[in-house]
Amino acid sequence: MTYCKFLDSLPHLAKILFAIFLNPLFVVYRFITDITEKNYGLVVWDALLGVAIHPFFWICNIVWTSSKDKIFSFADFFGNDGGIHFEATNSADPGTSIANAQEVKVEDKADTTKEETK
């Protein structure tokens, strides 16, 4: 994260020059930020548009950094999850999502509190 803090603390002109001439530094920045924040949907976008279609990411970085003094992020367009939702499943029943499992836990907790108050 020191790397990301360093790039964030650069003066506006330096960020613009980095966006023009050293754009791979911003690609690495995006990967580090999205992985540490567990935004795996954005990691997919970083890989697709930042690495596979590098000119698109390069132009976005130049325009975004010039206008906002901030390093470009796909989160501004797709949200923090990148528009891709990863659902973990319960190992006992592969069709049960985490949300369903949490609902069951809440119901179980409510039942035990009723029994304790009796």
Alpha-helical runs (H) found in 22-81? 23-36, 40-45, 54-68, 75-78
Whether residues 23 and 54 share a domain: the answer is yes
Average pLDDT of the chain? 77
Whether residues 62 and 110 share a domain: the answer is no
Whether residues 24 and 44 share a domain: the answer is yes
Whether residues 103 and 72 share a domain: the answer is no
Query: What is the model's pLDDT at position 56?
Result: 85
Whether residues 55 and 106 share a domain: the answer is no
**Cα–Cα distances in Å, from 99 out to 48, 65, 83, 93, 102?**
29, 38, 18, 13, 5
This prediction's pTM: 0.65
Whether residues 70 and 41 share a domain: the answer is yes
Whether residues 82 and 96 share a domain: the answer is no
> Hey, how many other C-beta atoms are within 10 angstroms of the C-beta on 61?
24
Whether residues 51 and 16 share a domain: the answer is yes
What is the total count of domains within the chain?
2
Each residue of 5-48: pLDDT tens digit? 999 999 999 999 999 999 899 989 999 998 998 888 888 888 88
> Hey, how many other C-beta atoms are within 10 angstroms of the C-beta on 36?
10
Expressed as residue numbers, the domain containing 77 is 2-86
Name the percent of the chain in helix, strand, coil, to the closest 5: 70, 0, 25
Whether residues 77 and 93 share a domain: the answer is no
Query: What is the model's pLDDT at position 115?
Result: 54
Whether residues 77 and 39 share a domain: the answer is yes
Query: What is the model's pLDDT at position 103?
Result: 52
